């Protein structure tokens, strides 16, 4: 582990520029597929650091690939930079209030400003290390847009951009430091648009065919489906168009968005087919017509125990974080704003459950591959993990118990603890990548583990080949429709 000291020194020597980059991206707070400025800040910075950048990959203007080095193993670092709608929040506040000088109404409620920046820094440090030691290796940084309610990496995986990686390294900002041990759910997301016939609701109700009735019957049908779904499957929906605000007009158009989650992509796709049949049934019952518009899908994460063990060793060698009394005091204040049930729920997400949670958990939690993986939401890192051996870590950027996609998470995103977690992630990812380049047998074992778990089949993208990434759209507007499939 003699590379650890050098990695720590390199990250510390560069940290000021990267903290500034993360803060800039926090302030830009750009939404999925529209992260033009955030992506460009990353791309131009890594270009200036000597990487060759290919912009606009996989049909997405805000996706890019940066590469440096030559020959040897190919090590990929995954970065994200999209924000969430409706989460504009004053930095460092212990109450929910918008920032007066915000660029828009969005906020970094999932820490992707830190996520992209640490992975970017790790790629630069790994490249520097290989160059300084004359080691043959190829380093890539992937600028991955649209993770939130989207699937940028799934489109990138479908384009084969991860296929030649020996290892993919990623992380996520969190409330504790550990190897990422969660099971994630595969998902499929689609719009259901019902078309009926408008008429006067009192003068000619018999001539109307209500699209809103159809949407409601579809939701009722799906409620009956829920009893007969596989374990851990979930189906959520939202109204995109409820047919207008006039009760005296039979609604001619109504639209819902459905997200279907399950343990694996085949399970999610099976469930999606049943939801489509329910939509057809609702259209049949109401004399309307339904169009299904496929939006996105992602796979569950395929854990690679071989790589996770290497990441764990490197993370422990780097060690936990030193926190200050001020950071603990602020975390204590933030915790007072979190509902006790939500605070208690935080432990459920960690395989190494904590009995005595404190305001900040600075140490590295033990790696527990022997316990059942707690189930969490979905991530498009899942698709990368089916294409190439992948490992991820979590770091404590926020007070223990802080909920994802909350104002509390946005508020803490530019504070010193967030930066410490980001730098720990950069050190862990760089050290793991460097360690693995020196261990060809481990890289081979990781590849064999992927093949064994995948069943020797190539990665199959859950997004159909004719569905293209949506064009960039204004924050908060309904998704642009990329592809249409009329099913009834
Ligand atoms: Zn996230």
pLDDT, tens digit, 9 for 90 and up, residues 393-422: 999 999 999 999 999 999 999 999 999 999
Q: What angle do CA 238, 244, 250 make, to 5 degrees?
A: 110
The verdict on domain 3-183+300-454 having CATH code 3.40.630.10 is yes
| Ligand 1 center to 212 CA (angstroms) | 33
d(CA 152, ligand 1 centre) in Å:
12
How far away, in angstroms, is 239 Cα from ligand 1 center?
24
Query: Nearest Cα to 462, choosing from 207, 244, 206, 186?
Result: 186
- The tens digit of pLDDT for each residue in 274-325 reads 999 999 999 999 999 999 999 999 999 999 999 999 999 999 999 999 999 9
Structure token pair of residue 106 = 């969005």
Beta-carbon contacts of residue 202 (< 8 Å; ≥ 6 apart): 248
Categorize the per-residue pLDDT at 375 as very low, low, confident or very high, splitting at 50, 70 and 90: confident
Question: Could you give the CA distance from residue 243 to residue 249 in angstroms, rounded to a whole number?
Answer: 9
Lowest mean pLDDT among 178-187, 247-256, 268-277, 363-372: 363-372
Strand ranges in 221-271 using DSSP code E only, listed in sequence order: 234-241, 253-262
Q: pLDDT digits over 328-338, tens only? A: 999 999 999 99
Helix residue ranges, H only, 254-304? 265-286
CA of 311 to the centre of ligand 1 (A): 20
- Which two three-digit tokens encode residue 211? 């699209």
Q: Say how many Å lie between the CA of residue 253 and the centre of ligand 1.
A: 34
pLDDT for the residue 372 = 83
How far is the centre of ligand 1, averaged over its atoms, from the C-alpha of 35 (Å)? 15
Strand-pair category, 390-396 with 485-486: unpaired
C-alpha–C-alpha distance, residues 385 and 19, integer Å: 28
**Near ion ligand 1, which residues have CB within 5 Å?**
110
Q: Which of 241, 253, 328 is nearest to 289 (CA)?
A: 253
Helix, strand, or coil (residue 166)? coil
Please check the confidence at residue 486 and state whether its pLDDT lies above 50: no
- Compute, in angstroms, the gap from residue 201 CA to the centroid of ligand 1: 45
In 175-232, DSSP assigns E strands to 178-179, 186-195
Report the separation in Å between the CA atom of 323 and the middle of ligand 1, taken as the mean of its atom positions: 24
Label residue 446 left, alpha or beta by phi (over 0 means left) and psi (-120 to 50 means alpha). alpha
Whether domain 186-298 has CATH 3.90.660.10: the reply is no
Q: In angstroms, what is the span from residue 176 Cα to ligand 1's centroid?
A: 15
- Residue 207 to residue 450: CA distance in whole angstroms: 58
Ligand 1 geometric centre to CA of 174 (Å): 9
pLDDT of residue 353: 62
Q: What is the average pLDDT across 468-482?
A: 51
What distance in angstroms lies between residue 380's CA and the mean position of ligand 1's atoms? 10
How far apart are the CA of 215 and the centre of ligand 1, in A? 30
pLDDT at residue 482, rounded to an integer: 34
- Rounded to the nearest angstrom, the distance between the alpha carbon of 379 and the centre of ligand 1 is 8
Using one digit for the tens of pLDDT, what is the confidence trace for 172-223?
Answer: 999 999 999 989 999 999 999 999 999 999 999 999 999 999 999 999 999 9
- Confidence band for 341, pLDDT divided at 50, 70 and 90: confident
Distance 85 CA to ligand 1 centre (A): 13
Q: Are 144 and 153 in contact (CB under 8 A)?
A: yes
Nearest-angstrom CA–CA distance, 187 and 377: 9
Domains 3-183+300-454 and 186-298 in one fold:
no
C-alpha of residue 173 to centroid of ligand 1, in Å: 8
The confidence band for 459, taking pLDDT boundaries of 50, 70 and 90, is confident
C-alpha 150 – ligand 1 centre gap (Å): 11
pLDDT value at residue 435: 98
Please report, for residues 10, 114, 115, 413, 475, the alpha-carbon distance to residue 124 in angstroms, rounded to integers and kept in the order given.
9, 15, 15, 23, 31
Q: Count CB neighbours of 246 within 10 A.
A: 10
Report how far ligand 1's centroid is from the alpha carbon of 314 (Å).
Answer: 23
* Average pLDDT of the segment spanning 53-80: 97
Helix (H, G, I), strand (E, B) or coil at 192: strand
pLDDT above 90 (res 348) = no
Give the pLDDT band (50/70/90) at residue 458.
confident
**What's the gap in Å between 344 CA and the centre of ligand 1?**
21
Percent of the chain with pLDDT over 70: 95
How many angstroms separate the alpha carbon of residue 110 from the centre of ligand 1?
5
Taking the centre of ligand 1 as the mean of its atom positions, its distance from the CA of residue 94, in whole angstroms, is 22
On average, the pLDDT of the chain sits at 93
Percent of the chain with pLDDT over 90: 85
Ligand 1 centre and the CA of 251: distance in Å?
A: 37
For the ranges 29-38, 104-113, 258-267, 478-487, the lowest mean pLDDT is seen at 478-487
- Give yes or no for a contact between 36 and 61, defined as CB atoms under 8 angstroms apart: yes
Q: Which two tokens stand for residue 273?
A: 């087919």
**Distance between Cα 438 and ligand 1 center (Å):** 31
Q: Where residue 150 falls among pLDDT bands split at 50, 70, 90? A: confident
Question: How far is ligand 1, taken at its centre, from the CA of residue 245, in Å?
Answer: 35
Q: How far is the CA of 112 from the centre of ligand 1 (A)?
A: 6
Q: Output the pLDDT for position 45.
A: 98
3-state secondary structure of 43: helix
Residue 26 and residue 113 in contact, taking contact as beta carbons nearer than 8 Å? yes
* DSSP SS3 for 390: strand
- Determine the Cα–Cα distance for residues 59 and 56; give it in Å rounded to an integer: 6
Domain residue spans in the chain?
A: 3-183+300-454, 186-298
Distance 83 CA to ligand 1 centre (A): 9
pLDDT for 351 equals: 67
Residue 350 alpha carbon to ligand 1 centre in Å: 16
For position 352, what pLDDT does the model report? 64
Output the pLDDT for position 148: 87
pLDDT on residue 342 = 83
Residue with tokens 């049930």: 341
74 alpha carbon to ligand 1 midpoint, in Å?
Answer: 25
């Amino acid at each position: 582990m003699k590379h650890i000291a050098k990695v720590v020194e390199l990250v510390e020597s560069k940290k000021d520029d990267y903290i500034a980059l993360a803060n800039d991206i926090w302030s830009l707070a750009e939404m999925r597929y529209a992260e033009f400025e955030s992506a460009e800040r990353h791309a131009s910075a890594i270009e200036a650091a000597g990487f060759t950048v290919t912009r606009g990959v996989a049909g997405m203007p805000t996706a890019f690939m940066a590469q440096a080095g030559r020959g040897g193993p190919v090590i990929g670092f995954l970065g994200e930079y999209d924000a969430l709608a409706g989460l504009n929040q004053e930095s460092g506040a212990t109450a929910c209030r918008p920032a007066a000088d915000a660029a828009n109404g969005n906020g970094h409620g999932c820490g992707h400003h830190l996520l992209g920046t640490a992975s970017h820094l790790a790629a630069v440090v790994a490249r520097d290390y290989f160059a300084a030691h004359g080691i043959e290796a190829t380093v890539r940084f992937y600028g991955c847009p649209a993770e939130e309610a989207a699937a940028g990496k799934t489109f990138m995986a479908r384009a084969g951009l991860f296929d030649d990686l020996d290892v993919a390294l990623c992380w996520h900002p969190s409330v504790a430091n550990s190897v990422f041990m969660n099971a994630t759910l595969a998902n499929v997301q689609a719009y259901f648009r019902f078309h009926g016939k408008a008429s006067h609701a009192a003068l000619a109700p018999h001539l109307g065919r209500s699209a809103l009735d159809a949407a409601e019957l579809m939701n009722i049908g799906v409620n009956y489906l829920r009893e007969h779904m596989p374990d851990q499957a979930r189906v959520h929906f939202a109204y995109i168009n409820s047919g207008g605000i006039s009760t005296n007009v039979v609604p001619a158009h109504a639209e819902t968005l459905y997200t279907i989650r399950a343990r694996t992509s085949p399970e999610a796709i099976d469930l999606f087919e049943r939801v489509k049949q329910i939509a057809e049934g609702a259209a049949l019952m109401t004399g309307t017509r339904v169009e299904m518009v496929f939006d996105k899908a992602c796979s569950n994460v395929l854990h690679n125990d071989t790589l996770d063990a290497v990441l764990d060793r490197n993370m422990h060698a780097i060690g936990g974080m030193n926190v200050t009394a001020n950071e603990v005091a602020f975390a204590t204040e933030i915790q007072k704003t979190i509902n006790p049930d939500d605070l208690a729920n935080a432990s459920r997400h960690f395989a190494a459950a904590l009995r005595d949670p404190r305001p900040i958990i600075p140490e590295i939690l033990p790696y527990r591959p022997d316990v059942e993986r707690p189930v969490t939401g979905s991530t498009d890192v899942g698709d990368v993990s089916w294409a190439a051996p992948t490992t991820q870590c979590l770091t404590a950027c926020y007070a223990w118990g802080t909920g994802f996609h909350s104002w509390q998470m946005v508020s803490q995103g530019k504070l010193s603890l967030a930066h410490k977690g980001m730098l720990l992630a950069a050190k862990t990812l760089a050290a793991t990548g460097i360690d693995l380049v020196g261990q060809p047998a481990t890289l081979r074992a990781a590849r064999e583990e992927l093949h064994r778990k995948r069943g020797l089949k190539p990665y199959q993208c859950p997004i159909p080949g004719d569905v293209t990434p949506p064009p960039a759209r204004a924050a908060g507007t309904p998704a642009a429709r990329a592809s249409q499939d009329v099913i009834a």
